[in-house]
């Protein structure tokens, strides 16, 4: 058997929400390097367009869309546009997400100070936006009886984490069961639904907290590996779950977390 060919995405069309930076960028590059046509969708349309241009210069196939995934109907409109332009949608990374702010390890993140407004904003993006993306992507995938949906969960969805906000741990716990529910629903259509659960990574979520050496060290000390992740380290799991190599994997939550949930 040619195992290498099972990771080949030549001819596939992939969507990555929140794809212009951080883990989304790494996911987009991973599948683009395997041959997929990648649609980089992001609230920052200029950054998405610049990344698509960079990918094209590398010989990848890429385009950009501006989207606020928290807006009602935005995910459905995005998928409609992709199918109109490319004829199909094979792979969808529901990656767009925002920080819940500091956790209860600081006074700014305890129960008394947690913001109701921020709570709703995080739910709108991290949970409702993810559900809308899954729901929209499932349509063309059901019709063609092949699809891969990959959700960005978090190690914070498995356990309490005093380093991150209430809304973040709540939404990430919720999407874990959302993935399992959708996996059951879509299995008969040969659509695999899985999640990647990152631990602490050096990205710009939360306003670039990992650029603060002290904060990064706090996160690093919470991990068996003793360091935070770098975005390119998410690419292997992304490529696996986007490809034919995951043909018997659905409803799985794959930690890429430096051992965070192994404690």
As a whole number of angstroms, the distance between CA 63 and CA 60 comes to: 10
We report the CATH number of the domain holding residue 175 as: 3.40.50.720
Helix, strand, coil percentages in the chain from 3-state DSSP, rounded to 5: 50, 15, 30
* Residue 261 covered by a domain: no
Residue 6: Cβ within 10 Å count: 13
* Residue 126 covered by a domain: yes
* Residue 262 covered by a domain: no
* Residue 51 covered by a domain: yes
Which residues of the chain carry a pLDDT beneath 70? 107-108, 205-211
Q: What is the dihedral of CA 135, 136, 137, 143, to 10 degrees?
A: 90
- Per the annotation, the verdict on 166 as an active-site residue is no
* Residue 263 covered by a domain: no
Check 158, 166, 168, 201 and give the catalytic one. 168
pLDDT given for residue 194 in this prediction: 99
* Residue 55 covered by a domain: yes
pLDDT given for residue 205 in this prediction: 62
As a whole number of angstroms, the distance between CA 187 and CA 229 comes to: 32
Residue 57: Cβ within 10 Å count: 9
pLDDT given for residue 207 in this prediction: 47
Range of the domain at 226: 4-256
* Residue 12 covered by a domain: yes
* Residue 208 covered by a domain: yes
As a whole number of angstroms, the distance between CA 180 and CA 187 comes to: 10
pLDDT given for residue 210 in this prediction: 52
DSSP notation for 12-43? -EEEEETTTSHHHHHHHHHHHHTT-EEEEEES
Task: Give the residue from 8, 28, 36, 23 showing the smallest Cα distance to 154.
Answer: 23
Question: Nearest 5°: phi and psi at 153?
Answer: -95, -140
User: How many domains are there within the chain?
Assistant: 1
């Amino acid at each position: 058997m040619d195992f290498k060919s099972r990771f080949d995405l030549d001819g596939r069309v992939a969507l990555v929400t929140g794809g212009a930076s951080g883990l989304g960028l790494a996911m987009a590059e991973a599948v683009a390097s395997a041959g997929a046509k990648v649609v980089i969708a992001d609230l920052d349309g200029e950054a998405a367009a610049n990344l698509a241009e960079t990918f094209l210069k590398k010989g990848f196939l890429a385009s950009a869309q501006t989207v606020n995934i928290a807006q009602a109907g935005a995910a459905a409109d995005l998928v409609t546009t992709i199918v109109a332009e490319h004829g199909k949608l094979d792979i969808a990374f529901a990656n767009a997400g925002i920080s819940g702010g500091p956790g209860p390890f600081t006074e700014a993140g305890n129960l008394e100070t947690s913001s109701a407004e921020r709570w709703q904003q995080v739910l709108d993006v991290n949970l409702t936006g993810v559900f809308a993306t899954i729901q929209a992507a499932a349509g063309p995938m059901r019709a063609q009886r092949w699809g891969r949906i990959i959700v960005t969960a978090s190690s914070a969805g498995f356990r309490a984490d005093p380093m991150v906000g209430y809304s973040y741990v709540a939404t990430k716990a919720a999407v874990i069961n959302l993935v399992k529910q959708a996996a059951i629903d879509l299995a008969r259509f040969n659509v695999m639904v899985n999640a990647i659960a990152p631990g602490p990574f050096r990205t710009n979520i939360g306003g670039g907290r990992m650029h603060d050496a002290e904060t990064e060290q706090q996160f690093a000390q919470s991990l068996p590996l003793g360091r935070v992740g770098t975005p390119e380290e998410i690419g292997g799991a992304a490529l696996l779950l986007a490809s034919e190599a995951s043909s018997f994997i659905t409803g799985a939550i794959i930690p890429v977390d430096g051992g965070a949930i192994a404690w």
